[in-house]
């Protein structure tokens, strides 16, 4: 029995998310315009780990924020589920973020007074996951990230890598169609960081998750199914 299920409208689609002519400009203090993204055209395939690679300031975080409906482009389209989400109302975009997308950030942002179990269960409550299925689901995803024996520990009792795995479990628990991970390994040592990225790869391979991750670390890219490299707001490869 497959654990992670996608919305039915994605079932026959290979490309789950794409951009067309995406640009993002910002006005700075002296009134001049800075182009953070320039004519970005990418395709994200379902059930794959895609990495957006680039140095600090290359535009990768700006891009992942737009892909995840956290920001809007100056021009261009973001197609998700057959719709250009840049044209949707903020209420509809919020619904998409809450129920069909999920996010893992550099800072894990766990509730310090809650156990790993409670942090994941809290995320399911926000996503309105069926009450009678929550306990089973929490235990299931914590086992998937190898924390089934640590589920009743609080963040302060866990290592940085374990905390990030709790954040990943919380992110995937409500069966999102796509997971965005912005520099999730930036605050971890190299060994722990590689373990987290391998966990993403396992989730893709074993459960057909779709994950987009940003990183500036070239050691991470070999594990990806697809890599887009950004430089000065443009895709260069």
- Backbone torsion region of residue 112, taken as left when φ is above 0, otherwise alpha when ψ lies between -120 and 50, otherwise beta: alpha
Inform me whether the pLDDT recorded for 4 exceeds 70: no
Inform me whether the pLDDT recorded for 7 exceeds 90: no
Give CA–CA dist 137/88, Å, rounded: 31
What is the per-residue pLDDT for 148? 93
Please, are residues 230 and 41 in contact by the beta-carbon 8 Å criterion? Answer: no
Range picked from 5-9, 59-63, 199-203 for highest mean pLDDT: 59-63
Give CA–CA dist 22/201, Å, rounded: 28
pTM: 0.88
More confident residue, 174 or 107: 174
Q: What is the mean pLDDT of the chain?
A: 90
Mean pLDDT in residue range 18-32: 93
Buried b / exposed e along 148-157 (16+ C-beta atoms within 10 A): eebbebbbee
Inform me whether the pLDDT recorded for 10 exceeds 70: no
pLDDT band at 13 (very low <50, low <70, confident <90, very high): low
Using CB atoms within 10 A of its CB, is residue 179 exposed (0-12), middle (13-18) or buried (19+)?
buried
What is the per-residue pLDDT for 9? 45
Residue 221's φ and ψ, nearest 5 degrees, are -75, -25
Inform me whether the pLDDT recorded for 78 exceeds 50: yes
Task: Give 80's strand partners.
Answer: 17, 83
Residue 202's φ and ψ, nearest 5 degrees, are -65, -40
Residues 104-161 have pLDDT tens digits of: 988 878 999 999 999 999 999 999 999 999 999 999 999 999 999 999 999 999 999 9
What is the per-residue pLDDT for 194? 84
Residue with tokens 């290979």: 14
Residues 180-212 have pLDDT tens digits of: 999 998 888 888 888 888 889 988 998 889 999
Tokens of 78: 């973001």
Alpha-carbon torsion (141, 210, 167, 95), positive or negative: negative
């Amino acid at each position: 029995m497959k654990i992670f299920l996608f919305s039915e409208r994605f079932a026959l689609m290979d490309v789950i998310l794409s951009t067309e002519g995406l640009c993002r400009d910002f006005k700075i203090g002296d009134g001049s315009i800075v182009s953070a993204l320039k004519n970005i055209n990418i395709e994200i395939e379902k059930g794959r780990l895609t990495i957006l690679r680039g140095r600090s300031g290359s535009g990768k975080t700006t891009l992942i924020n737009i892909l995840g409906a956290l920001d809007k482009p100056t021009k261009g389209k973001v197609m998700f589920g057959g719709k250009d989400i840049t044209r949707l109302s903020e209420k509809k975009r919020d619904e998409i973020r809450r129920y069909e997308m999920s996010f893992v950030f550099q800072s894990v942002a766990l509730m310090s007074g809650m156990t790993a179990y409670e942090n994941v269960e809290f995320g399911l409550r926000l996503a309105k996951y069926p009450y009678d299925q929550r306990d089973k689901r929490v235990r299931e995803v914590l086992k998937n990230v190898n924390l089934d024996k640590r589920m009743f520990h609080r963040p302060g009792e866990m290592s940085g890598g374990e905390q990030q795995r709790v954040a990943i479990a919380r992110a995937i628990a409500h069966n999102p169609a796509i997971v965005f991970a912005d520099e999730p390994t930036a605050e971890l040592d190299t060994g722990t960081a590689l373990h987290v990225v391998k966990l993403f790869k396992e989730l893709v391979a074993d459960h057909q998750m779709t994950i987009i991750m940003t990183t500036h670390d070239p050691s991470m890219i070999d594990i990806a199914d697809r890599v887009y490299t950004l430089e000065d707001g443009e895709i260069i490869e």
